[in-house]
Every structure is written in structure tokens, then in C-alpha cells.
Structure 1
Amino acid sequence: MDLPQLRRKRQAFLEKHLSGESIDYRQIMALFLPILIDQAFIVCLNLVNTAMISSSGVAAVSAVNMVDSLNIFLISVFVAVSTGGTVIVAQYKGSGNSLMVSKAAASSVASVSLFALGISAVVVLAHNPMLNLLFGAATPEVFAEGKTYLIGSGISFVGIAMMEAVCGALRGIGKSRVSLILSLIMNASYVLLNIVFINFLHMGVLGMTISINISRYAAAVFAIYYLVRMDTSLHIQIKDLVKVNLAMLRKIMYVGLPFAAEQMFFNGGKIVTQIFIVSMGTYAIATNAIGATFAGLLQIPSAALSLTTITVVGQCMGRKNIEDARKFTKAFLVLSAACLLVTALIILPLFRPLVSLFHPPAAIIDDIFMITLINAIAQIPLWSISFIMPSALRAAGDSRFTSIVSMLSMWLFRIVLGYVLGIVLHFGIIGVWLAMNCEWGIRGGVFLMRFRGKKWYRHRLID
């Protein structure tokens, strides 16, 4: 078969599976590729950052991982509201209403920033009670490092919230390339500053907190400047970003609040799981941190597809094209599973050189490999139905159902099973990860049954 024939077959395949009346495969690829690069960059930089902070000792990497579980819980609230903005922007974009697209984008940035400001104030003022309640079993050294990192992270929340809200709105209208540039500004500056503060100045966790604030607020300034001065389609002014349109806010919150509640309960469950891990000792915390970094590497393409799904399905629903929404969701599920298989085949043979970047104690290397192997195998059939599918349902407005299912599955299965396997049956950290993989399957199965019905696409988000 010659090259022109191969090209024709490839194009025919893409037209069949990744093109529809609402959007074609060229538009999907133009949306997906910048998000993929962004996700790869973020995960790889997290790997580098974890490797750098590990040079400051096991206590430092344990403290950062311990507090990051709380950070993720808190940040997920305003990221969820930002996702509500993405859905509304995407649906208005699909319906062709450019005026409402601009209003939705401005309202999303204003509301997300206010949420972040409130959360930041709570963290800075109540950091001691939070750490004592959740991680009181940690060693004094880990606890002290965790306190520094939590305060510094809390101060940075408004910066990352503004950046996330702008990027979410831009993804909603298909401008994922711009959101990629903004993300690169934030994450590249973060790593470069970490090199200065951690490697050269040997400031450890304090240096990381300084880096995170400078990088997040710099990215927020660039994001707002782009919206106000450089964007040619949204026509947003500064005054639009400091007032909240209540009617638009209600639409955003219809999607965002259930998702925020889901993220709070879901990541709250992760914190409870983290408490199990803290009780297992500093080595277990470090094992979990490095294992999570490997999981992030394996999931890069699929995580990008999950974000792409929100925009694609949202625009399909804006056009009221249910068949396209179904078609693209199914295609993304298959493509995501294939990506997970490929990344596993690439990462697993490279485990030894990659894990050496973290300078782990020899005693935990086997546990890290076992976690990575189990996770790599389990996620091929389970991750996509557990994460791609709810993105599609949420983009159609079915956020309340997805949130309730996610909350129940987390607390009824992952936490209970994690405690039984990890603590009662003494499987340790491996038992906690096995419970997580099992919970993916249960949650994903429920989402699949919902998708086969009709209720998920009967919500009316826009006029």
C-alpha cells in the first residue's frame, strides 16, 4: 500500500469516527493538541519539581505531598466553578450567540476569583487547626515543613484561580492554544524559580512557596491582559471582570456547584485516605507521592481528552445535536483506553531511570514499582469510563447526577475498602491504591448505564 492510499484511509477513518455535523476532526485536533502539550508539560514539570524537592530530604517531599492533598481539595472548588463556566461558554459558542459567550466568560472569571479569595483567607487564618486535625500524626519535621507550604500555597490561590478561569473560558470557545501559552508561562516560570530557590539557594519548601506565588500571579496578569487587550472575539473590559452578572452566575453555578460539591467530597475522601497513609509513616507518604507522579505520567493523553470532551460535547449540546455528542463520547472512550495502553508500554520499561530522579530510599522502590504496575494495568479498562464519561455528562448539564455518584462511590467504596485493605488486612500503601482502582470500575459502570439512557441530555442550560 503506497503513501497516498494510507493517507486516504487515515482521513476516511478520522472522518468516520471524529467528525460530525457539529465539529470535524480538524477542529478537534486543533483543540486537543494544545491541551495535550499543556498536560504533558504540567505533569513533567511536577515530576521535575518533586525530584528537586526530594533533594531536600524525605521529610520535605512528604510534607509537600501531604499538603498537596489538602491543596487539591481546596483548589478543586474554584476549578469546578471554572468548569461550569467552560460548559456555559461552550454551549453558547455552539448556539452561535457571541454576546452571551462574552458575558459567560467574564462572569466565570469574576465568580471564580471571588471563590478563591474566600478560600485563601480561610487557609491562611486557619492553617494550624487544619494541619492538626488532618495530619497531626506526622513527624514534627514533616509538620513544620507542611505548615510553611500550606500558608504559601493558600496565598497563591487567587492567582491560579484567575488563570484557570480564563483558560477554561478560552477552551470553551476552542482557543486551547492560548490557554496552552498561559499555562506554559505559569509552569515554566515555576520550575525555573524552583531551580533558583531550591537547587541554588537551598531554600527547600520555603523556596517552593515563593516560586509558586510568583509564577501563579504572573500568569494571572498575563491572562487578564490577553482577555482585555489582545483577544479579538470576546470584547471583555476590566469593568466586566469586577462585577458578577447574577443571571449568568446562576447558569454557571448550575453546573459548577454540584461539581464543586463533588470535588470537595471526592478530594475530601482523598484526604481521609492520606490520613491512613500518614499513619503508615514517612516512607509510605513518599511512596504515595512518587507513585502519584508516575500515575500522572501514564494519564497525560487521557487527561487531555477529558478536558477536550467538555468543549466538544458542550458545543454539540449547544447545537442540540445529541447524536454527535454520543458519537464523540464513544470515540474518546476508545481513544483514551488506547492511549493508556501505549503510555504504559512506554513508561514501565523506563521505571528504573525515572524513579532514580527522586532519590528514594532503596526500601520503597519495590513498593513504588508495584503501585505503578497495578495502576497501569487497571486504568486501561477503568480510567476512561470513570473520568471521560462524567466530563461528557457534565458538558450536557448532567452535573448533579455525576456529582452524587462520584461522592457516594468515593465514600462508600474507596475509603472503606482502602481502610480495610491498607490498615485492617495490612496491605499498606498498595492496598490503598488497589481500593482506588476498584472504585474507578464501580463509578464508571454507573456512568455507562446513565449514558445509555436519555436523562443525561435533557437539561436546558442556555436559552
Structure 2
Amino acid sequence: MKKKNAAAVKIGGFLERQFGSSMFTSKEFFKILGPVILDQFFVYFISMVTVSMVSASSQDSVSAVSLVNPIIFLAMALFGAVASGGTVVVAQYKGKNDPEKVRQAAGQATLATFIVALIVGLCCFFFAEPIISWLFGSAEAAVKGKCVEFLSGMGISMIPFAFYSAAFAALRGVGASKTCLWLTIMINVVHFLLSILLLNILHLDIWGTVLSYILARFIGGMIALYLLMTKRGIMQVRVRDILKVNPKLMITIARMGVPVAMEQAFYNGGNIIVQSYLVQLGGIAVAANAIASSAFSLIYACGFAVSTVSLTIVGQCIGAGEVALARRYGSRMEWLGNTICTLSVVILMPLMPLLLSLYAPQPETLPTIYQVMWIGCAFMPFVWSGANVMPNTLRAAGDATYTSVTSLVCMWAVRVFSGYALAIWCGLGIYGVWISMGLEWLVKTVAFRIRFRGDAWCSKKVVE
């Protein structure tokens, strides 16, 4: 018993030295991080299970979802970037201990996010057919038809999802991780149960997936808005905070959000191009990539939790004027991200035969799925965190333009062009696509570490 207590004391002391500070004790740090890890893992797990249901429904359907997802991610990234800009502003005002500005920033972020989501959602709905014909004209007719149905339906789902995204981002900015976890569980459980009903019981195929998203996001959006505005809640945002435009706050949120939005637009545009040349490799390659990408997302889910929390922790440190502390936490977050990703590979890869069985993949696709996932795992423990956690550390301090430009250059120069060269010119096929992904992580890690070691990233002024 004494040995166990001594070990607990040693572990507690180690964690306090690594993650404790004048702003956060190690317990407070992990109170913020723990729910976000559960949040992210839950999101990716439910997403994986849902994709497996679509896969079991038909291979054409999972191919359609795989092809359209980069377009959806592109559209959602535009209003998601506005919401993330709200996270930075809210976090810095929280660090300055200014609750009135916190409320106003959350309200303005909600309004801006809704406007952008309304525009992009309606564009996806009305222009689904020409978009699919332009990008994936060489795909099989059945796949193209399902692509159009999926894109138009998902466009509608984005409009209520804007309220969820904005509220979620604001709550994260003040460190309300438990509330965010509750919201995540709620919206994903609803989505999961509706998917079972509409896909497995009613057999609605691609429209079952679309309807489950629309209904779950409507319910989640309304509940998130209520939590943001209720007088018993943490934020207590008022109607006027949302509806009355505050030009200064809008500009501040835009300064944080627009570079990220542009980055995500071009980043996901690059992914769309990758999908377009994957089509040239045949249906087996498209299906294998779809299943491998879905299953692989579960491995980096916890790493993305660290990336998300870095916005909150570093943002509050910068808001409080604790630049040295922000630098210390940025370094710790990168180390923690790599450690968690390594553990995820060790724990989850042996379970992949069981997890992949959920997708009911065609026998000829299974070897390819395993091989490309191992390519991703080879890079992950060393460079994933530098490429995905470090940019959020820089953004939390207001260094949004550098991170966005760097991410874009790396995406297009490495992921898109070298991916095409390896996959098509060198004849490596889908393996070339996954190798280029790892190379992109490597180049981004080098670029972001160089920036982090300097002083320019922490000299930006976001809030007054």
C-alpha cells in the first residue's frame, strides 16, 4: 500500500512539474484536457461506426461519402474557422478576466458563424450536381448519383450545425470542457441511434445517413444555443450580444478566423484534388482509402484533443500576459501530443482486425487498408504533433497568418503535388498518397518548430 502511495506521489509530482504553473495546477490542466480527449475519441469512434454502417450498406455508398467528404470538410471549415477565431478571442478575454467581453465575443462569433454557414450550406444544396460533375465526372454513374444526394443533404445540415459549432468554440475558450463533452456525447448518440434506425432498420442507404445528420445537428444546435444563453450557464450570452453587430469584435474575430478559413479552404481543396486522382486508381483504391482514413482517424483522435486544448491554455496565458508560460505550455503540448499518438498506435493497431470487420470490406481491399495504415503509423509518433498541435499553439497567440500560409504551402507542395507524382507518375498508387501525407507532416513540423523558437509568434496583439 505504501509503495502504491509513493508511486502515486511521484507521478503526481512529475505531472505538476510538467503541467502545473501559476495559472493552472496539473489537476486543472487535466480537468480541461480529460473531457476533450473523451470528446474527440467519442466523435471519431461514432464517425467510424457510422461510416462502417454505410460501408456495409453498399460499397458505392462508402465511395460516395469518401469522395464528397473533402467538399463537406471544405464548406464546414469556412464557418468552423470563424468559430475557432471566436475561441481565441474568448480565451484571451477570459485570461484578462473580462466576463463582459467574453459574452460579447461569444455572441458575435455565433452571428458570424451562422451567416457563413448559411451561405456555404445553401451553395452545397443548390450546386451539388455541377460540383460533382466537375470534380468526379469519371466516377461510375451510381457513385456520382449518391455523391449529389449526400452533398445536397449535408448542405442543409450545416445551417443548424453553425449554432453548435459557435457555442462549442466559445465554451472551449473559457475551458468548459465538461459541458463540451456532454454536448458531444448528446449529438453523437442521437446521430448514432438515428443511423441505426435509418440505415440498418429502414435501409434508406445514403439518405439515411443524410437525415441522421440533419436531425442530430438540429437538436444539437438548439441545445448548444440554449447552454450558451441560459442565465444559469457559464457564458450567459444575451440576445443583443448575438444580434447587435459589434464592428470592433467582428474585425478581431475575422483577423483570427479569416486566415484559418483561407487555409482550410485551400487545404481541403487540395484534398479534393487528391480524391480526384484517387478516382483514376479505380473503385478498390477509393474504397480502401475511405475505410483506412476512417479507421485511422481513431488513432489520432486523442492527439487532436491536445491540439484543441492548446488553443484554450496558450490563449489564456497570452491574455494574462504570461508569454513565457505560453511558450512552456506550447512545448509541453507538442510532447504530450506525440506521446498520446504513440500510445494510440500501440493500443489500437492490434485491435484493427476487429474494428475493420465493422466495415465489412471486400476481401481484395483489406491488405491495402492495413498497408496504408501502417505507413501513417510510421510517421505519427515523430511528426504528427508538430504538424497538428504546434500550429494551434501559434494561433492561440494570434499568429494566424503564418500558420495558415505555411500549412497551405506544405499541403500543395507536398501532399498534392508530391502525392500525384508518387501515386501516378511513380506508379505507387494509394501508397504514394499516404507517403505524401507523412512527408507533409514532417515538413510542417520543421517549419512550425523554427517559428516557435523565435519571438515573432508571441508578439501579436489580438485583444486590447
> What is the match of residue 187 of structure 2?
186
Q: Distance in 1 between matches of 2:265 and 2:118?
A: 17
Structure 2 matches for 1:251-400, cutoff 5 A? 251-400=252-401
**Residue in 2 that maps onto 1:459:** 460
Secondary structure in 2 matching 1:156 = helix
Spell out the pairing of 1:10-409 with structure 2 (5 A cutoff): 10-409=11-410
Per the alignment, residue 420 of structure 2 pairs with: 419
Task: Decide whether the 8 Å contact of 1:111 with 1:244 is kept in 2.
Answer: no
Aligned-pair CA distance for 1:231: 4.0
In structure 2, what is the Cα distance between the partners aligned to 1:42 and 1:244? 33
8 Å CA contact 2:228–2:234 kept in 1: the answer is no
| Cα distance in structure 1, aligned partners of 2:25 and 2:276 | 46
Answer whether contact 2:103 2:235 (CA < 8 A) is retained.
yes
Tell me, yes or no, if the aligned pair for 1:170 and 1:178 is still in contact at 8 Å.
yes
Contact 2:311–2:392 at 8 Å: present in 1 too?
A: yes
Taking a change above 3 Å as real, the CA distance of residues 50 and 233 of structure 1, as seen in their structure-2 partners, is closer
Contact persistence 1:397–1:460 (CA under 8 A): yes
Q: In the aligned structure 1, how far is the partner of 2:283 from the partner of 2:425?
A: 19
Q: 1:164-204 deviations in whole A, cap 9, x for unaligned?
A: 11010001001111111112221110110010000000100
User: Which consecutive residues of structure 1, in runs of 5 or more, have no partner in the other structure?
Assistant: none
Asked whether the equivalents of residues 168 and 180 of structure 2 are also in contact (C-alpha less than 8 Å), the reply is yes
Distance 1:20 1:240 in 2: 33
Provide the secondary structure at the position in 2 that maps to 1:93: helix
Q: Which moved more, 1:76-85 or 1:346-355?
A: 346-355
Secondary structure of the residue aligned to 1:426 is coil
Contact 2:94–2:319 (CA under 8 A) maintained in structure 1: yes
- Separation in 1 of the partners of 2:394 and 2:212? 37
Please give the per-residue CA displacement for 1:377-401, whole angstroms capped at 9, x wherever unaligned.
2111010000110000000000000
Q: 2:352 & 2:235 partners in 1: Cα distance?
A: 45
SS of residue paired to 1:20 = coil
Counterpart position of 2:432: 431
Residue correspondences, number:
463
**Cα distance, 1:22 vs. partner?**
2.2
Note if contact 1:17-1:327 (Cα within 8 Å) is conserved in structure 2. Answer: no
Please tell me whether the aligned partners of residues 35 and 304 of structure 1 are also in contact (alpha carbons under 8 angstroms).
yes
Q: Are the counterparts in 2 of residues 110 and 243 from structure 1 also a CA contact under 8 Å?
A: no
Per-residue CA deviation, residues 323-377 of structure 1 (Å, 9 max, x unaligned), is 1111111111111111111111112212222211111111111110011111112
Structure 2: distance between partners of 1:318 and 1:228: 24
What code does the residue aligned with 2:426 have? Answer: L
How far the C-alpha of 1:250 sits from its partner, in A, is: 0.6
Output the amino acid matched with 1:214. L
How far 1:232 moved relative to its partner?
3.6
347-356 or 83-92: bigger deviation: 347-356
Query: Percent identity at matched positions?
Result: 32
CA distance in 1, matches of 2:399, 2:453: 13
**CA RMSD, aligned part only?**
1.1
Does the residue aligned with 1:2 lie in a helix, a strand or coil? helix
Q: What is the TM-score when the length of structure 1 is the normalising length?
A: 0.98
Change (3 A) 1:392 1:72: same
Preserved CA contact (<8 Å) 2:36 2:181? yes
**Counterparts of 1:34 and 1:149, CA distance in 2:** 31
Secondary structure of the equivalent of 1:459?
coil
Q: Deviations over 1:206-256 (max 9, x none)?
A: 111111100001001101111222544422123332333211011111110
Please state how far the C-alpha of 1:48 moved relative to its aligned partner.
Answer: 0.8
Q: Write the distance in 1 (CA, Å) between the matches of 2:418 and 2:229.
A: 49
- Tell me which amino acid in the other structure corresponds to 1:256: G
Q: Is the 8 A contact 2:39 2:184 kept in 1?
A: yes
Q: Which amino acid aligns with 2:428?
A: F
Q: Distance in 2 between matches of 1:24 and 1:388?
A: 21
SS in 2 for 1:203: coil
User: Match of 1:225, as an amino acid?
Assistant: Y
Give the match for residue 2 of structure 1: 3
Indicate how the Cα distance of structure 1 residues 413 and 203 shifts in structure 2: closer, same or farther if over 3 A, else same: same
Partners of 1:186 and 1:413 in 2: CA distance = 36
C-alpha contact (below 8 Å) 1:46/1:293 kept by paired residues: yes
| C-alpha separation in 2, matches of 1:461 and 1:334 | 26
The CA distance in 2 between the partners of 1:385 and 1:358, in whole Å, is: 31
SS in 1 for 2:321: coil
Distance 1:338 1:369 in 2: 22
Q: Measure, in 1, the Cα distance between the counterparts of 2:360 and 2:9.
A: 49
AA in 2 matched with 1:435: S
Whether the aligned pair in 2 keeps the contact of 1:89 and 1:169 (CA below 8 Å) is yes
2:179 partner amino acid: V
Amino acid paired to 1:190: H
Tell me, yes or no, if the aligned pair for 1:393 and 1:402 is still in contact at 8 Å: yes
Give the Cα–Cα distance (whole angstroms) in 2 for the partners of residues 69 and 278 of structure 1: 14
Where structure 2 has 5 or more consecutive residues not aligned to the other structure, the ranges are none
8 Å CA contact retained: 2:104, 2:242: no
Over 3 Å counting, the alpha-carbon distance change for 1:355 and 1:232 in structure 2 is closer
SS at the partner of 1:358?
Answer: coil
User: Cα offset for 1:316?
Assistant: 0.4
TM-score normalised over the length of structure 2: 0.98
